[in-house]
Structure 1
Amino acid sequence: MTLSAPAARAVDLRVEPVDNVLEHVERSLQAELDRETVVRKRCSVGARTDRRTWVRIERRGLDKIGMQGWNGTECAARLEGITQPGWRGCVVWRDADEPVMWRADETDLLPSAPVGNAILSEDPKLQDSWWQAFNASLDALAAQDTRRLATPDTETITQALVTEAVRSISLSDDFDTTVERWVPAHADLNWANMTAPRFSLFDWEDWGNAPRGLDSASLWGSSLAVPALADRVRHERRHDLESRDGKLMTLFACSKVLGPDAHPQDPRMEPARRMAEQIIAELQAD
């Protein structure tokens, strides 16, 4: 018999009281958190410390912590050739009242501010040097080795998941959805997890092996409201996106935009629909 962890209560840390959590982290890391710098997101809270570092605190249900754990930022510290904040240490504890765990990772401060929100509505006008650093890090990441499996949106990516997503936006099943090449990916690549004007890539909680092109396609999908930016992403990552796996990942990204929870006024919907039709036709012709 397989035992499964109980599901955790859904919590939004943007509104949930977190003072006790912040105090626990301060005692454990022996550092003071600057309350004026606190950034609250749905599943995480971050703040600057009195020793010029950053602490990111995440709450995750036991049912969302698989065999590989949830130490992505720690494991990413060993990666070579990637521009990312240095990792200093962490504290992990189980909640006394709920089936959840908390984890606080301390890293160096970001060299610049995040580019923007996860999905952009304006062109950030990034310099060529930024794109060069971006490409160098993504190429270096794909050349690494890991046993980790990517967990975009905390869900382990599998061949079955890819097939389900692709089929959800395709009216036919007359092309193969089998992924040929799996490589390490950040798995949460969007404009909120990179900095500019100095490039750095952060928030490594979900990284691991994934179909080639996942990161490139995800960033393209986050750029669709700014056509020139989406075109730039496709140009810079064309060696990924023009591959067969990259085409499947483009459809995977399109499924996120065109899925049942899509907002009818989302400006990304029409370009995603057009690209999906184009890619499906190409795969059918192969």
Structure 2
Amino acid sequence: MSSEPDDPEVAARMRRAHTVACGFFGAARDARASDGGPQEVWGWRGRTLGRPVTGPYGPGWLRVAHSPADEASGKLWTGPEDAERLVPQQIPRPCLRLVRQWTEKEDAYRAELYDHVTGGPLSPTPVLAATPRLITAWWDDLRTALDRLSAVRTDRTAVRQAYLDRAMPKYLAFLGGSVPTTPPAWSTAHGDLHWANLAGPELGILDWEGWGTAPAGYDAALLYAYSLTMPETAERVRRELSTVLDSDAGRFAELVVITELLQSADRGDNLELLPALRQRAREVWHQMTADG
């Protein structure tokens, strides 16, 4: 989840597209939704826009994605629909009911109508700003969901080996050693498991655009990294997901995630995480070299 795009033309275009999508689905914006969820959710730099609606399946969530027409294909474009077909329903997430694509000159749009999720995201942004109050059952359900997801067979890719070979030496050079770039193991991951993509008080995992294979432990490592500004929550994540994070695979996954977030800081994103990410990279590297 991101803020409204700075460019007012982008915001206006996406809102118009959302209105068009409502017409396709016979849905209407539900401005009366009163369960505490957000009324409008933007994706990175205005690429997506989601709003609560009422429609043929009752209360729902209508999300519209934009792409240049000549790039409207591939992993991010088909991820939610692939997840609906291939990811077991026991992994809690809103059901994807309807999909519609259309083009307007050089712009392509994809509308997705989901079931309503009670409570909504646990944070308005990926980086945690307030401590979520979660019961033990929520954490139990998260561990079970990640275990089940890791075993899903897919040819989708969330993180590529070529990226690790290129990016890890560059962004982890400050560690002063020869950082390995080949993970101990691979498994299937959500690929964007941060606090804005997790719902509560009942667990729901949102936004399945980028799911696919990644270094084992990737989801746990990403959630931990996005918690570093809130030490109490970060410690809870480490404790609840210790089986994954305190393994060789988990430590490697942490370095992968830190690499990605340091790279994103070059684009001006996640700047508040920088000091904690660098410190955590040093701690993980010390553990890895001490174990070796």
Corresponding position of 1:270: 275
Corresponding position of 2:93: 84
Deviation at 1:207, TM superposition (A): 0.7
> For 1:179 and 1:11, how far apart are their aligned partners in 2?
40
Corresponding position of 2:65: 58
Matched, 1:75 2:79: no
Determine if contact 2:51/2:61 at 8 Å carries over to the other structure: yes
For the residue of structure 1 that corresponds to 2:275, the secondary structure is: helix
Q: 1:154-211: per-residue Cα shift (whole Å, max 9, x none)?
A: xxx2112123332212344534221232211111111111111111111111111111
Between the aligned residues of both structures, percent identity stands at 28
Corresponding position of 1:166: 168
Corresponding position of 2:201: 197
Code of the aligned partner of 1:268: L
Deviation at 1:107, TM superposition (A): 0.9
Code of the aligned partner of 1:71: T
Within 5 Å, which residues of 2 pair with 1:15-54?
15-34=11-30, 38-41=39-42, 42-51=46-55, 52-54=59-61
Task: Work out the number of aligned pairs and report it.
Answer: 269
Determine if contact 2:156/2:212 at 8 Å carries over to the other structure: yes
> For 1:162 and 1:11, how far apart are their aligned partners in 2?
33
Tell me: CA distance 1:77–1:267, structure 2 relative to 1, closer, same or farther (3 Å).
Answer: same
Q: Say which is worse superposed, 252-261 or 101-110, in terms of deviation.
A: 252-261
Matched, 1:284 2:280: no
Determine if contact 1:217/1:246 at 8 Å carries over to the other structure: yes
> For 2:245 and 2:165, how far apart are their aligned partners in 1?
17
Q: 1:124-161: per-residue Cα shift (whole Å, max 9, x none)?
A: 121111111111111111111111112xxxxxx21121
Tell me: CA distance 1:243–1:261, structure 2 relative to 1, closer, same or farther (3 Å).
Answer: same
> For 1:32 and 1:279, how far apart are their aligned partners in 2?
49
Q: 1:219-276: per-residue Cα shift (whole Å, max 9, x none)?
A: 111100101111111222222222333222211222344445387x955333322221
Cα RMSD over matched residues? 2.7
Code of the aligned partner of 1:202: L
Unaligned runs of 5+ in 1: 1-9, 151-156
Higher helix share: 2
> For 1:257 and 1:218, how far apart are their aligned partners in 2?
9
Q: Say which is worse superposed, 196-205 or 268-277, in terms of deviation.
A: 268-277
For the residue of structure 2 that corresponds to 1:130, the secondary structure is: helix
> For 1:107 and 1:141, how far apart are their aligned partners in 2?
20
> For 2:210 and 2:26, how far apart are their aligned partners in 1?
27
User: TM-score, length-normalised on structure 1?
Assistant: 0.83
Unaligned runs of 5+ in 2: 1-5, 34-38
Matched, 1:104 2:105: no
User: TM-score, length-normalised on structure 2?
Assistant: 0.81
